[in-house]
Structure 1
Amino acid sequence: MSRAFYLLVTAVLLKNYLFYEQGSGLNYFAFALFLLALVLWRKSGLFRERNMQLTTAGFLLTGFTAVYYGHSHTLILYVVSVFLLIGYSSVTQLSPYVSAFNGILSSLGLASFQASSQWLTSSSNRSTHRQLFRQFRMLLLPFLVTLVFYGLYYWANPDFSLFDRSYVLDTDYIFLTMVGFIWLPSLVFPYSAKVFAEADLKLANTLSRIRGRYKGQVLGLKWEYRQGIVMLGMLNLLLLVFLVFEGLMFSKGQQQQTAYDFSQSVHDSVNVLIFSILLAITLMLFYFRKNLNFFPKNRTLIRLAYTWIFLNLLLLGVTTYTNMLYIENNGLTFKRIGVYFWLFQTGCGLFTTLYKIHYKKSIAFLFRINSWVCYFTLIVFTAVPWTSIITTYNLSRAQILDLEYLKEFLPYNLPQLQESVYVYSESLDLKADLLESAQTFQKQYKQNPHTWQSWNYADWKINQYIETHPLSK
């Protein structure tokens, strides 16, 4: 217990050293390494588990992204990775969302409360408790008497002071320390909510046949099979007609639409697509939740399910193509990149549903695998240099250029915009804006010199560029 306590104090002090009055940079990656080392010290065998390996990979990637870009967009993913690490350091077989929930509960102080209560109620520590209490009673009276006499001496001569009067209590540092003592014990003294953990562990990844009628059976198995054939057959026919209609609309030409109508059509189609995919997956989960997976004559139903998934993938392709046309006309933005993210996620959902049907996997498996897919997709999307890609694409290919939008990313797209300053110098005083952005960045960079904790590649690179490519009025 004493070793763990000293390690906890070291962890809190190290966290304060890395993050107090610091920006995003090397501190994120260094702290990730320290937390992983802390878990390794406590129980090295945890890293043999696949879930812990995935969490470690995601945690290191988010830390590296913070070092490379230095922006705060990775903070949410970094915190999620910490919650996953805390959860899996307790129970490694849980689903990622249950593990993250356990990590949140532990970080709120439940882990430290459980550890302290166990230590206080432990019979082996009763002698230690009595000894500490005696020491406290022994020191309390001398401390109080000394404090009274110090007050009398200070009253007699106000110049007599043991403390620097200019010192101001740093409440931010104290708050950071208190927060550290609340959530860091969760990595030293693991905690897991047994109710959620036990319920999750009971859910297997692979389905097993249930003998006899079960409660989830709305109709008889044969009638449910026939209902599934009729429903999927009708839905396949309807979606096929819709895809043909969409193809005819594209052949007539989308360029006749106004920019506003085109934007609305893209947004509406994406929203409808996501809803329809979720509805399709829900239908698949309903009909392939239990014994229909083992029905001896279910080939027709499975083929209709495969066809339904394939047609939904075609619908996904149509919406992706529509989004591409919209980007070609109006340029690339983070919101339009977000559309690609959701399209990719829905596509992954369809493929994992196909995998679930083919290999007779459970609904719990589908949620688990899609949680990991979403987690790593977000990490990869965050690691892409979108600012540079957006600026380069819009300057070279967008038919409608929005310079005001690109200037929102200054100074990190300064090199690309400076190359185009002569082309767009007559519009919106671009050159003056670039000069002002560069001067503001360098002023902040010099006023707040970056220590090694908050060093990041993006800021360093832009500062080097400004120094080697000075802008003139």
Structure 2
Amino acid sequence: MKKLLLFIGALLFSTLFYGKSIGLNLFLFSITTLIVLFANNKDDFKSKRTIIYSSLYLATGLAVFFHDSSVAIIANFVSFFTLIGLLSENKSSIYVNWLNGLYTTIAGLFHRNFSINEVTQKVESKKDIDFMHLAKLIFIPAVIVIIFIALYQNGNPLFNDLIDKIDFSFINIQWLLFAGLGYYLFSNIHKPVEVEPATELDLKTGNTLTQTSKFSIPKLKQENQLGIILISLLNVLIVIFLITDITFILTNLDIRASVFSTQVHSGINALIASIVMAIIILLYVFRGNLNFYKDNKTVKRLAFTWIILNAILVCSITIKNGQYIYYFGLTYKRIGVLIYLTLAITGLITTLLKIDKVKNIWYLLRLNTKAAFVVLILASTVNWDYHITNYNFNYAKSIDLNYLIDLSNNNTFLLKEKAEAQSLNQDNIQRIEKKYNKYVYELRNNSWQELQYDNLKLETK
């Protein structure tokens, strides 16, 4: 039954994707993948974590149907690897899930059936498979049948006519090869495997920092003094920077786009450098036994202050980016800045927790990679092109129509509505009409595998 399911999955894979662009097929493939995984890993699907990750995987596939964006497609692929890796080991970290998921997708079948002999360093089969016998079963009968067909054709005109009438032109070799690729894929993932020793190391590594045997009071006293001096100076420096930055914001409410752009980008560069340096320095200062030194309260308070000041710096950049958006509209880069600021705040909070709760670097890595995954999934559910266009027409002080027209087709219907409702110059109206007509033509020529939500919207127009 399970083998039959793999064959059905392979045929569906080729039916959905061979010669087709991305649309409804990716969502249907997500459903097919979950069916194959559930049939072979029923116990794992009793876990709430597995159910959540399966739901996220389906959500990204549905997002691709509603708006065929690159972000949604990337999120679907990442959630696919995450789910596969989770099924290989439910308790592993999310970055190990990605590793296991990618490895399973590429070489799961090979891993399950072969192993490396540590003595001879040769790949050996895990099963007693007589490959020579299999070759005989396939090739010898095939060759003999072909020879006898040729003999019978010469010996019987009616048989020769019957063979000549057999037409195999309906067989699409490329489609069959694509189905073979689908079978290989499902054969790999139906029973996910682990990458060792990465998975084992991850499971053995906890989040809590432990005191080492080299606990020297004199050395810790010196480290504590160094930490106090260094972080105190950095606190003074960032306070001066923030005062000048806030003064600039309050005294320059109406400035040119080029000035805003320079300020935002330089602010982001300062923020990147500040946060990276903050995390590196704090990880160094609190890397070991200083966490257990009884007189470390001052250096901890200074570290917390520095983290809070960095958070204020994030708020400052957010305000400037918001002003930039208000005057000159939304773009992907400005949205990217907001996403980065969200991840920056997350990084600062987790660093604070790491110091306060005496955690190790793996704690930071696990939390922040999980946060990045969540942000990617949330970002994939938004039709950014539509919202960029809608915001810029309704709220931005100035509109860059060239930018909006050059966006993907996800804003095409909205652009058409705005072109009809507002007074635009003739050149822009023609460009929007050209984009609209081209997109409508593509939608009307979509096969059922390539259907998008816009196909349904088009039918209601």
Return the TM-score normalized by structure 1. Answer: 0.85
Q: Which residue of structure 1 aligns with residue 118 of structure 2?
A: none
Match of 1:211 among 192, 196, 213: 213
Q: 1:169 to 1:17 in 2, by over 3 A?
A: closer
Q: Deviations over 1:180-235 (max 9, x none)?
A: 23332222233222122222222212222223359xx9x92222122111111111
Q: 1:346 to 1:147 in 2, by over 3 A?
A: farther
Q: Which residue of structure 2 aligns with residue 343 of structure 1?
A: 341
Moved more, 372-381 or 270-279: 270-279
Q: Does 1:115 align with 2:112?
A: yes
Q: What are the within-5 Å matches in structure 2 for residues 318-357 of structure 1?
A: 318-357=316-355
Moved more, 131-140 or 374-383: 131-140
Contact 1:26 1:66 (C-alpha < 8 Å) held by counterparts: yes
Contact 1:154 1:160 (C-alpha < 8 Å) held by counterparts: no
Q: Which residue of structure 1 aligns with residue 81 of structure 2?
A: 83
Query: How far apart are residue 38 of structure 1 and its match?
Result: 2.5
Query: How far apart are residue 371 of structure 1 and its match?
Result: 0.8
Q: 1:423 to 1:103 in 2, by over 3 A?
A: closer
Q: 1:12 to 1:423 in 2, by over 3 A?
A: closer
Structure 2 distance, partners of 1:435, 1:268, is 39
Moved more, 91-100 or 31-40: 31-40
Query: How far apart are residue 439 of structure 1 and its match?
Result: 2.6
Match of 1:205, SS? coil
Aligned residues: CA RMSD: 3.2
Q: Which residue of structure 2 aligns with residue 43 of structure 1?
A: 41
Match of 1:255, SS? coil
Query: How far apart are residue 295 of structure 1 and its match?
Result: 2.0
Match of 2:359 among 349, 358, 361: 361
Contact 2:84 2:189 (C-alpha < 8 Å) held by counterparts: yes
Match of 1:429, SS? helix
Unaligned runs of 5+ in 2: 116-123
Q: Which amino acid aligns with 1:117?
A: F
Structure 2 distance, partners of 1:443, 1:316, is 45
Q: Deviations over 1:308-363 (max 9, x none)?
A: 11000000011111111111221111111111111111111111111222222221
Q: Which residue of structure 2 aligns with residue 164 of structure 1?
A: 167
Q: Which residue of structure 1 aligns with residue 284 of structure 2?
A: 286
Q: What are the within-5 Å matches in structure 2 for residues 265-304 of structure 1?
A: 265-304=263-302
Query: How far apart are residue 130 of structure 1 and its match?
Result: 8.6
Q: Which amino acid aligns with 1:456?
A: Q
Query: How far apart are residue 398 of structure 1 and its match?
Result: 1.6
Q: What are the within-5 Å matches in structure 2 for residues 185-196 of structure 1?
A: 185-196=187-198
Q: 1:136 to 1:276 in 2, by over 3 A?
A: same
Query: How far apart are residue 254 of structure 1 and its match?
Result: 5.2
Q: Does 1:200 align with 2:202?
A: yes
Q: What are the within-5 Å matches in structure 2 for residues 13-412 of structure 1?
A: 13-49=11-47, 51-108=49-106, 110-117=107-114, 121=125, 135-136=137-138, 139-140=141-142, 142-146=144-148, 148-149=150-151, 161-164=164-167, 167=170, 169-171=172-174, 173-213=175-215, 220-253=219-252, 255-256=254-255, 258-409=256-407, 412=410
Q: Which amino acid aligns with 1:196?
A: A
Query: How far apart are residue 53 of structure 1 and its match?
Result: 4.3
Q: 1:426 to 1:363 in 2, by over 3 A?
A: closer
Query: How far apart are residue 435 of structure 1 and its match?
Result: 3.2
Structure 2 distance, partners of 1:179, 1:277, is 45
Q: Which amino acid aligns with 2:198?
A: F
Moved more, 399-408 or 437-446: 437-446
Contact 1:207 1:362 (C-alpha < 8 Å) held by counterparts: yes
Match of 2:194, SS? coil
Q: Deviations over 1:43-97 (max 9, x none)?
A: 3332355653453232122112122223343222211122122222212222212
Contact 2:112 2:126 (C-alpha < 8 Å) held by counterparts: no
Contact 2:71 2:379 (C-alpha < 8 Å) held by counterparts: no
Q: 1:440 to 1:136 in 2, by over 3 A?
A: closer
Contact 1:424 1:430 (C-alpha < 8 Å) held by counterparts: no
Q: 1:279 to 1:147 in 2, by over 3 A?
A: farther
Structure 2 distance, partners of 1:65, 1:402, is 27
Match of 2:450, SS? coil
Percent identity, aligned pairs only, is 29
Moved more, 153-162 or 225-234: 153-162
Q: What are the within-5 Å matches in structure 2 for residues 414-429 of structure 1?
A: 414-421=412-419, 424-429=422-427
Query: How far apart are residue 149 of structure 1 and its match?
Result: 3.4
Contact 1:4 1:188 (C-alpha < 8 Å) held by counterparts: no
Match of 2:451 among 443, 447, 455: 455
Q: 1:324 to 1:298 in 2, by over 3 A?
A: same
Structure 2 distance, partners of 1:130, 1:387, is 57
Structure 2 distance, partners of 1:154, 1:327, is 83
Q: Which amino acid aligns with 2:79?
A: S
Q: 1:159 to 1:232 in 2, by over 3 A?
A: same
Structure 2 distance, partners of 1:250, 1:322, is 7
Q: 1:273 to 1:61 in 2, by over 3 A?
A: same
Unaligned runs of 5+ in 1: 468-473
Contact 1:410 1:437 (C-alpha < 8 Å) held by counterparts: no
Query: How far apart are residue 40 of structure 1 and its match?
Result: 2.4
Q: 1:174 to 1:403 in 2, by over 3 A?
A: same
Return the TM-score normalized by structure 2. Answer: 0.87
